[in-house]
Chains A and B, each alone.
Chain A
Amino acid sequence: MQEKQRLLTPGAIYFWATVLFLYLPILLLVLFSLNDSVLLAFPLKGLTLHWYQELLEAGEMLQAAQNSLVVGVISSLIATAIGTMAAIAVTRLNFPGRDVFLSIAAVPMITPSIVLGVALLILFRQTINLPLSLGLITLSHVVISIPTTMLIVMARLAGFSKNLEEAAMDLGANYWVTLWRVILPLSLPALIAAFLTAFTASFDEYAMTTLITGTDVTLPVYLYSLLRFPRRLPVALSMGSVIIVASAILIVVAEWLRRVDFRGGAKEETA
């Protein structure tokens, strides 16, 4: 491909304009988190770090954020693990009921979260008498992410043929070794993408989670409950701002790590 002019191609302009559009409301949030007023309206009343100070003392909000983090990491790890295994089985091995399995695996994607939430609530509380907990929320978040993790890994696996595995097996490796040393490393970018996608979904999940929440709350549920008290809203905005900055740093670091370790496979990443 020829090198076009650096910066001002229409594509670039459109891209950066869209990025600006995407970030504008977020910048607004950050702006209001620094505003010396409870009301979210212009004109601004003055700059203050007061809300961030309150955030440091907002024990419950921080606990909720931590809960969301734990639930997110664990559920995403599980979803990625089992979704990857299923994806490999589906793309590499033809088994009876494969299509049925795929259809059912896709169901969480076509079911509104609120419906899943109620169905799960009925199961947890009426069918089996289980106390609601973060553990149950974690298990439920796995279900939501199964289709996306499978899809991402399946798309990746479809990109390279079975020949590598067959070659490895011809050379004497059994299936598990092949899996570990050949398939997984090659699909690692997809695994990471699947994990991040699952984490994003879990961290921000509200509609389903709120119905199966017990004593311990996740962050979105907590934030929504804050809406009743407008004086708490700016603190929520400061939390949101912190999350943006933290996740931005995290992603950039992850990106850098990935680039560093995949020198050998870098060819596959770029167009």
Chain B
Amino acid sequence: MSAEADVVRRPSGPDSEPTPRKRVRLNEQLRTTGQVGVMIAPTTLWLFFLLVLPLIMMTLLSFRSGSFTAEDSAFTLSNYQRFLQDASFQRLMLRSLWVALLVALYSVVLAYPLAYYLAFRAKRRQNLLLTLLIIPAWTSFLLRVLAWRIILGSDGMLNSLLLLLGLTQETLPILLYSPTAVIVTLVYIWIPFAALPIYVNLQRIDLGLLEGAADLGATPIQAFMRITLPLSMPGIIAALLFVFIPTVGEYVTPALVGGPSGQLIGNIIWDQFARALNWPMGSVLSLMMLVLVLLPLLLTSRLVRLSGLLEG
């Protein structure tokens, strides 16, 4: 890939004069800028009608007292007040952020060696092994979480195994229906996905740098710490965000394996829309969650701009 970067055509002759070439390129640029519209139009339309507009409607809904009847449409801040006054909503929100962060960290830490192996050691079998990692993701997410419920249950596999090995005297029901179960299950789901951005990033590292380091006397560990790891930072950050953000709003896993202490804000939001039919309150909670998720995003984009990931 880096081979292309080195291809800089320098034709000889009159074309090599900078001025005529620049003029040609500028004309090209102006013409193609006109065509930018065509390139981004479909996506823009899609984003506007099926993303921006619905979100605006949802924001409007957050200021109503009810969802369906005419008298519900009066403007009110009561839902926002309820959120600000209810400490349990706020604590649950923070706990969800914390759980999501843990899941992201564990997933990335566990996925990094996988990505490393794929990028540097797997040679020609890279893509095959990568797809091997991805295939589990094609099974229903629901069924996989159910499978974990079986594993973690008190007559489940894990317990039977521990009993068999004599590590525990009696079954441990605490494995299931706890925040731990939620984290374990989510990490399991996310590891393959966390490996992807890291792998893509590692792949683009110029091996010449590592060889150069070796030539200069660096040990493999030094080379890793001083070269590979820093260069893979964009991928790591991308992987963290990739896992963190959807996990904040996760509700299926907590509902199935979380128990009373493992519920997350996503469950409450889901309840508002699907059970309690309190759409305005659900809209408020969703908006608050979006705001809280955007903050770390803005922070990290200052530290490592998204373009950094692109320029490798």
Residues of chain A at the chain B interface (Cβ within 8 Å): 1, 4, 9, 11-12, 14-15, 18-19, 21-26, 28-29, 32, 40-42, 81-83, 85-86, 88-91, 93, 95, 101-102, 104-105, 107-116, 118-120, 122-123, 126-127, 139-140, 142-143, 146, 150, 154-155, 158-161, 163-164, 166-167, 169-170, 175, 196, 200, 203-204, 206-207, 211, 219-220, 223-224, 236-237, 240, 243-244, 247-248, 251-252, 255, 258-259, 267-271
Contacts and interface: CB of A to CB of B under 8 A. Distances in A.
Contacts of A269: 126-127
B9 A163 contact: yes
8 contacts: A88-B39, A112-B266, A164-B7, A169-B28, A223-B140, A240-B140, A270-B126, A271-B203
Contacts of B119: 271
Interface of B: 1-5, 7-9, 15, 24-25, 28-29, 31-33, 35-36, 38-40, 42-44, 46-47, 50-55, 57-58, 61, 110, 113-114, 116-121, 123-124, 126-129, 131-144, 146-151, 153, 155-157, 160, 188, 191-192, 200, 203-204, 207, 211, 245-246, 248-252, 266, 269-270, 273-274, 279, 282-283, 286, 289-290, 293-294, 297, 306, 309-312
A31 B137 CA distance: 18
Contacts of B279: 118, 122
Given A119-B54, A240-B143, A25 B1 contact: no
Contacts of B289: 112, 115
Given A28-B151, A223-B142, A22 B55 contact: no
A209 B42 CA distance: 22
Given A86-B40, A140-B50, A15 B143 contact: no
A110 B245 contact: yes
Nearest to A154: B310
Given A25-B144, A119-B54, A113 B249 contact: yes
Contacts of A1: 120, 207, 211
Q: Dominant SS at the A interface?
A: helix
B118 to A, nearest CB: 8
A108 B91 CA distance: 25
Contact of B46 (A15, A143, A159): A143
Nearest to B283: A118
A40 B207 contact: no
A115 B47 contact: no
Contacts of B9: 163, 167
